[in-house]
Amino acid sequence: MKLIYNTILAFVLIACNPPQRNCTDFKTGSFEFTAEINGESTTTSFFRNDTLEVENFNGKIDSSSIKWVNDCEYILKNLYPVNTAEETPLLIKILTTSEDRYTFEYGQVGSAQKARGTAVKIK
C-alpha cells in the first residue's frame, strides 16, 4: 500500500512542476523558425533586440516593432505592412524554454485563433 501511495505522490509532484520558462534568455539574439506551409517545410530567420525584430523569409526582409507585455509575451507590429492582414499586430507568448530553443504561441491580437511553433537560438 505504501508503494502505491508513494508512486501516486511522485506522479502528482512531477505533473505539477510548471514548464521551464527562462524567457529573458530569448529576448534578444538571432533565431530560426521552421514551419510547414502548403506541405513544404520553410525556414525563417530573424534577429531581435529589445524594440525591433528583422525577419528574412524566402529572401524577403521585413521589420516589426516589439512591445514587451511581460518577460514572456510581446506584441509585434509590422513597420511596413503591404496589406490589411499585416496591419494587425501579432501577440507572441513564450510557453516553454530550453537551453537553445523556445516553444511559443502566436496569433493576431484580438483573435482566438492561435498557432504554435518552436524557435532555435543561433549561436
pTM equals 0.79
CA nearest to 122, candidates 57, 46, 71:
46
Indicate whether 9 belongs to any domain: no
Give pLDDT tens digits for 77-90. Answer: 999 999 988 899 99
State the CATH number of the domain containing residue 30.
2.40.128.490
- Greatest distance between any 2 Cα atoms in the chain: 66
Give pLDDT tens digits for 4-61. Answer: 554 554 454 455 656 678 999 999 999 999 887 788 888 899 999 989 999 998 889 9
Q: How many structural domains comprise the chain? A: 1
> What mean pLDDT comes out for the span 61-73?
96
Indicate whether 14 belongs to any domain: no
CA nearest to 25, candidates 76, 99, 87:
99
**89 is in which domain, residue-wise?**
20-122
Indicate whether 54 belongs to any domain: yes
